[in-house]
Amino acid sequence: MVSRARPRFRHRRTVAALSAVSLAGLTVGTATVLSQPAQAAQSANTGLVRVDQAGYLAGDVKQAYLMTGGAVSGAKFSVLNAKGKTVLTGKVGGTSLGKWNAAYPDVYPIVFSGLKTPGTYHIAVAGSASGSSPTFTVTSSGSLYGKLVTDGVTFFQTQRDGSNVVPGALNRKPSHLNDAAASLYAWPTFAPDDSDTITDADLTKLGGTVDVSGGWFDAGDYLKFSNNEAFGDITLLAAQRALGSSAPASLTAEAHYGETWLNKAWNQKTKTLVLQVGIGSGNAAGTFTGDHDLWRLPQKDDGDTATADRYSAAHRPAFLAASPGARISPNIAGRVAAAFALAAQVDAKSNPKQAAAEYQAAASVYAQADTSAPPSPLTTALPNGYYPESIWHDAMELGGAELALAAQKLGHSPSSYLSQAATYAKDYIASDTGDTFNLYDNSALAHADLIKAIAAAGNPSGLAVTRAALTADLKRQVQSAASKASSDVFHAGGDYADFDVNAHTFGFLTEEALYRQASGDTSFQSFATEQRDWLLGANAWGQAFMVGEGSTFPKCMQHQVANLSGSLNGTGAIATGAVMNGPNNTSNFDGGLGSYQDGMKPCPPGGTDPDTKFTGHNSRFSDDVRSWQTDEPALDMTGSAVLGAAMQETLGG
């Protein structure tokens, strides 16, 4: 058996984040300033200029960062257009925002909010420091955020499994057609200490088959989880609802593609929900492998006749979330219900018959949630350590809120779902707060939609929570992130020394927009801009953490399709729109990146990690195919980006 080379345990984390920085004075300039070589840092007065490579809106508070090898004073900057003409000049901030690492002990702000004319630009620094930024644009909300939405949907298309794939730039082929008759198996036993190694001599077949073909691969591997598929579909459907007629056709199609698979996973007659398709690792005895033991293109699996690969490739097992008719863990039941109910909302006008069926599916799975004696740990994946989760009131609040909104659109009474959602919201506020919008905490979207449902119902009395309390908790979530960001060197609201910082940070865009809609309070808009900036290049690494945005983004992701049929260090096709975990704690790199798995194409060529010189604040990012710690994309991370961008686009940034 091939040793497992790709750990993929992810942990729920508490994050917080930031406030705006003071503005420096700007003057309009006319002289042309020659650009310095971009991204070079050899001496104390040669710096790196970090910008949001995806661009800025005309009205944004615009800030870049100058990283230097030593203290500087009196440095000046010029903004040059595509023709090399200076259109704006100003002074680099005179006070360092703080130390990043030994090589870059000073980081200075460059504020250029006076730049408002649409176009393509770059920043050049001269005087006591020198440096040049990558190019960026000043553009409209629809152009900037719309591209993020469309590109994020492209990654979901890349993740398609089954017969109805989208070939795209990576030349995807139909895969795992045998999933159409997947056998059901009992949950395997895993080794202790959060291991995903199976201790059983073999898997135990339960009898019967299910059609679980199609759907989306979860991450860089080929496993499928209904919990994650539901969250991914929630983000797409909520984005489609927010954008309305402005939603790209690809978004609408992809959202319904995800719903189609969930409709296979949930069987209303038997009251069974498929939890997972495939296993990550094989067993300790080495008699069978798991998905993570192989590195291959997905279309190879159905023809894999190796006995050891019987569960990892040709005949992947399916596992139920609970026994037929038994209650289902409320976190997953709430999310699946929310996905169906959101589909009912977006289809209510154009296809009322389909919307009615989606509403029924939502109601049936919601009713199956085990809220009286939830399993411990909550059911998420096999093993649970892949996606450990500790709260569930948020998911049930979201399911109830979406069902109430769907009921209102379809002419049904929402009262029961309003009451249930309000109760779960009260319980969440009382005991579950601490995280922000992401796969593991859906309360921000739940609160915002419950506010809408209560208002649409005429503000009925007697609910367990008020609209004011929900709005206040939305503000708490945004404020917690803004407070952290106010003291961060790059104004990052997420914890980049922990897992899933990119997903959380895109989540801040969603939270800020939802809070702004609910309250009319625009005071956190600059915070949201700073978070977008950090994600798309204005960070220590100078990386846009969404593939295809700007000029510098990850090109060596731990993603099998991209590695085997896409780019190698920037050559060839890329997995456009993918969002990966992002920077992570340096302790996760103890022992290095390890060896290449059999079948991997080394990336970057030569194995040299150019990003290590930017390690700082106990955080490291590595764009290397071996770097599961930072470089594996996933549905939930990219879905968070799609929804965050859509919400900001809806409000004009």
pLDDT in tens, 220-236: 999 999 999 999 999 99
Token pair for residue 95? 């006070």
Query: Can you read off the two tokens belonging to residue 132?
Result: 């040049």
Supply the pLDDT for residue 3.
Answer: 31
Residue type, 550: G
Q: Which DSSP state fits 411?
A: T
| pLDDT score of 165 more than 60 | yes
pLDDT at 8: 53
For 72-155, where are the E strands, in sequence order? 76-81, 86-91, 106-111, 119-126, 131-132, 136-139
Per-residue pLDDT at 559 exceeds 60: yes
Interval 434-488: pLDDT, tens: 899 999 999 999 999 999 999 999 999 999 999 999 999 999 999 999 999 999 9
pLDDT at 572: 83
Q: Is the pLDDT of residue 299 over 70?
A: yes
pTM recorded for the entire structure: 0.94
Q: What domains sit in the chain, N to C, each tagged with a CATH number?
A: 26-139 (2.60.40.10), 146-535+636-650 (1.50.10.10)
Distance CA 149, CA 167 (A): 19
In this predicted structure, the answer to whether residue 527 has a pLDDT above a threshold of 50 is yes
pLDDT at position 607 is: 72
12-49 pLDDT per residue, tens: 333 333 333 333 333 333 333 333 333 333 444 789 99
Positive or negative, the CA dihedral 251, 254, 260, 266 is negative
Q: How many CA atoms lie within 13 A of 465 on its CB side?
A: 29
pLDDT band at 569 (very low <50, low <70, confident <90, very high): confident
What phi and psi values does residue 131 have, to the nearest 5 degrees? Answer: 170, 165
Contacts with 431 (C-beta within 8 Å, 6 or more apart), sequence order: 393
136 SS3 class? strand
Q: Which of 152-166, 316-330, 569-583 has the lowest mean pLDDT?
A: 569-583
Per-residue pLDDT of 271-280, as tens digits, reads 999 999 999 9
Distance CA 504, CA 519 (A): 22
Reply yes or no on whether the pLDDT at 85 is more than 60. yes
Q: Which DSSP state fits 310?
A: I
Give me the phi and psi of 182, to 5 degrees please. Answer: -80, 135
Q: Which residue type sits at 588?
A: N
Work out whether strand 56-57 and strand 136-139 pair parallel, antiparallel, or are unpaired: parallel
DSSP state of 63: E
Residue 266: beta bridge partners?
273
Question: 359-372 pLDDT, tens per residue?
Answer: 999 999 999 999 99
